């Protein structure tokens, strides 16, 4: 996900739009903050918990989630 920012001088530096919103490059959603877009971008990843269906940014985050939240690491994503 790579949002686009237009500076006050009109130059792009890949962060947000002129109106201050951050657009998802994979769907039509937009967000008021970069952190909102960052959180949303995990919904486009293939690393999803099979127990609670939460999306993670990568398989390492999924493994950490499984240990921390569910006490195991054998119920990861089957979406690979």
* 22-70 tens-digit pLDDT: 999 999 999 999 999 988 888 887 888 999 998 888 899 999 999 999 9
Check pLDDT > 50 for residue 13.
Answer: no
Residue with tokens 């939240």: 69
Alpha-carbon Rg for the chain, nearest whole angstrom, is 16
Query: Does the model's pTM come out above 0.75?
Result: no
Give the bridge partners for 31, in sequence order: 22
| Spatial distance between the Cα atoms of 54 and 64, rounded to a whole number of angstroms | 13
Instruction: State the DSSP H helix or E strand holding residue 22, giving kind and residue range, or none if neither.
Output: strand 22-23
């Amino acid at each position: 996900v790579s949002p686009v920012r237009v500076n006050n001088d009109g130059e792009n530096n890949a962060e947000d739009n002129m109106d201050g919103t951050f657009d998802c490059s994979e769907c039509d959603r937009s967000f008021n903050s970069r952190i909102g877009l960052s959180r949303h971008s995990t919904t486009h990843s293939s690393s999803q918990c099979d127990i609670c269906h939460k999306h993670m940014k990568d398989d390492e985050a999924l493994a950490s989630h499984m240990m921390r939240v569910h006490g195991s690491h054998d119920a990861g994503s089957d979406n690979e």
